[in-house]
Structure 1
Amino acid sequence: MAHHPEQGWSLLCNGVLLFEDTGELLPDGRVIAPHRPMGGVQVMTAA
C-alpha cells in the first residue's frame, strides 16, 4: 500500500487507486465516480 495524502491518492494492496474525493480507478481500468456522502464528516478506520 502506498499513501500520498499530499497528492490526494492511495494505492491499495489489491491494485486499486483510491482518491481523496472517494473516486477509484480499478486495476482493469474501470472508474468508480466520486461518491461523497451528503453532509456531515465521514470517519474511516483501518481494520
Structure 2
Amino acid sequence: MCRHKSPCPAAMAPDREQAEVLGRDSVLGWALLCNGVIVFDDTGCLLADGQIIAPHRPVLAGAPA
C-alpha cells in the first residue's frame, strides 16, 4: 500500500506503528497509518485483515514490572 520513497513497515511487521499517519481523529482517539493499520490512543491496533493487537505499553528501563 505504501508509495513512499522509503516504504513504511508492513502491517504485519513488528515496527508497524512507525508507518506514516494518513488521517487522525483526536476526538475518537485513533489514527490511520499508511500500511492500513488503525492505531488507537490506548496503543491497541486494528490490522487491515481484522486482527486485533491488544494495547501495549513500552517497559521503561529501571521501572518496576
TM over 0.5: yes
CA RMSD of aligned residues (A): 1.4
Partner of 2:39: 18
Structure 2: give runs of 5+ residues left out of the alignment.
Answer: 1-21, 61-65
Report the TM-score, using the length of structure 2 for normalisation.
0.53
- Asked if 1:4 corresponds to 2:25, the answer is yes
- Asked if 1:31 corresponds to 2:31, the answer is no
Report the TM-score, using the length of structure 1 for normalisation.
0.71
CA distance in 1, matches of 2:43, 2:56: 6
CA distance in 1, matches of 2:37, 2:54: 13
CA distance in 1, matches of 2:59, 2:42: 13
Between the aligned residues of both structures, percent identity stands at 56
